[in-house]
Amino acid sequence: MTTTERNTFMRTDIEFNAHGTTLRGWFYVPEGNGPFPAIVMAHGFAALKEMGLAPYAERFVEAGFAVLAFDHRNFGASDGTPRFEIDPWQQMTDYRHAVTYLQQRNDVDSDRIGAWGTSYSGGHVIILGAIDKRVKAISSQVPVVSGYSAIQRLVRQDLFPDQRTAWEADRAARFAGAEPATVPVIDPDPMANVAFPTADSFEWFSSAAKDAPLWENTVTVASLEKLTEYEPRAYIGRISPTPFLLMVGHDDTVASSDLPLSAYEQALEPKQLAILPGGHYAPYGGVAFEPAVTTARDFFLEHLGQETTR
């Protein structure tokens, strides 16, 4: 176990059991006497905690929150097979396991736990807020609210039948005992068969991966099929009365700005909307980081309790 200390907080490598699969992450605890309100967080599609989560966690812990940031199963430091397979429903359920882990800690106030998600996990926390009322505040940043709509916009429609053929072939091959088929997450060729064919996706993943030695440029073909089945916006009206913060990128062409904005109209009070500058990846150290982290921090302070330290 590794522990990192700073003058305002301590970060420890932790692990917890998620129905037989060990998930691993970082646990931050502020200076002072607990129990502290806590925030659970994880990254988006195929991304690891090292790819931009630490700056958010550090700002939250400096405001007096304990923070758990973890890698999704099948990725990074966490266990799970098939490797590089993304099941959004399982990832959302693992958020619930993380909440249970936090509730067992003596340094966490089990009645003041919030959830933060971004991109794909921004969709996860929408469903989490709808179905798990142990969570007292939800912050969803540049979320995928409709997997089907997102992939329709990312994949050329004349290539969509080929996608379905690939999914069906992978199902048959797995049934026969073959290893799962995979595709790259990114490629510099915009016409390549990848999960994210946009230029800003290639630029961000290529840069962020330098800080994440466990990241690999691969994801299973089945992960893309599962994406088309995932509709967090269907749950957004059920978040209330849990406080809900939605942050949308002004120029988001990956999660598509109009989709979460339209879904927000279906959310009930109490709710809060923030429009962030830039595109989908701008919150990760770009022009949108400061407004995103400040807005989320202040939202959690309002709904989970006042600062205990700075």
Just give the CATH number of 3-145+230-304: 3.40.50.1820
Q: What's the token pair of residue 289?
A: 């980081």
Within the chain, strands assigned E span 3-5, 9-18, 21-30, 36-42, 66-70, 108-118, 135-141, 182-183, 219-220, 244-249, 271-276
Q: Which residues pair with 11 in a beta bridge?
A: 4, 28
pLDDT at 308: 41
Structure tokens at 30: 């502020």
Mean pLDDT by 10 residues, the chain (310 residues): 77 98 98 95 98 98 97 98 98 98 98 98 98 98 96 82 92 97 95 92 98 98 97 98 98 96 98 98 97 98 70
Is residue 236 within 8 A of residue 227, CB to CB? The reply is no
pLDDT at 306: 58
Distances (CA, A) of 76 to 9, 127, 237: 24, 24, 33
Confidence at residue 5, expressed as pLDDT on a 0 to 100 scale: 72
Instruction: With beta carbons less than 8 A apart as the criterion, state whether 158 and 196 touch.
Output: no
Distances (CA, A) of 191 to 46, 166, 172, 188: 20, 17, 26, 9
The torsion angles phi and psi of 204, rounded to 5 degrees, stand at -70, -50
Distance between alpha carbon 264 and the CA centroid of its chain, in Å? 18
Gap between the Cα atoms of 20 and 35, Å rounded: 28
> With contact defined as beta carbons under 8 Å apart, do 57 and 47 qualify?
no
Angle between helices 54-62 and 289-304 (to 10 degrees): 40
Going from N- to C-terminal start, the domains of the chain cover 3-145+230-304
